[in-house]
Amino acid sequence: MLPRARLEGIGLAALVFAVDRAVKALMVGPLQLRVHEVIDLLPMFDLRYAENYGVSFGMFTATSLEMRLGLIAVTALIATGVFIWMLRETARGDILGLGMVLGGALGNIYDRLKFGYVIDYADLHIGTWRPFQIFNLADVAITFGVLILLARSFKSREKPLDSGDDTATENA
């Protein structure tokens, strides 16, 4: 039986995947958001439909079936690595970060398999300046999951000074 933290990580991955699917279904279903259509929500945030044929920032755009399948294979391999890491990890915080990454990756892989592209819709902007490309909930989960992992890795590297150990200064 899996330890509780790993079950929480798998549950978080499933939740991220489910919410990502639901929001994307809302965008293309009831809201019928299509390419070049915009729904203004807030002065700094709109819903703006986009089809992302690449990865982050549209890099590595898949312009053929072979490239698309290659991109799916690479992202599926990465997701598999994240899942294995999550099953071997013991720190709850790391497991939850990995769960966020896994859920987001699965959401975007699903889009690539079903549509041939990832559905993006979130447009954060200040006037005409856009600090980010149009993104989706899966991207947010991946980003926050990676940030959690990075922050925890930096924190784990901090070692308290051991004032009782004088051998280091004696040998120097």
> Cα dist. 147→47, 64, 67, 94, 141 in Å?
25, 32, 29, 10, 10
- How far does Cα 134 stand from its chain's mean position? 14
Contact 44, 135 (CB under 8 A): no
DSSP 129: B
The residue from 46, 120, 123, 165 that is catalytic is 120
Q: Identify the bridge partners of residue 129 per DSSP, sorted by sequence position.
A: 126
Strand order in the sheet with 45-52: 38-42, 45-52, 118-124
Name the catalytic one among 139, 162, 165, 166.
Answer: 139
Could you confirm whether 120 is annotated as catalytic? Answer: yes
Which active-site residues does the annotation give? 120, 139
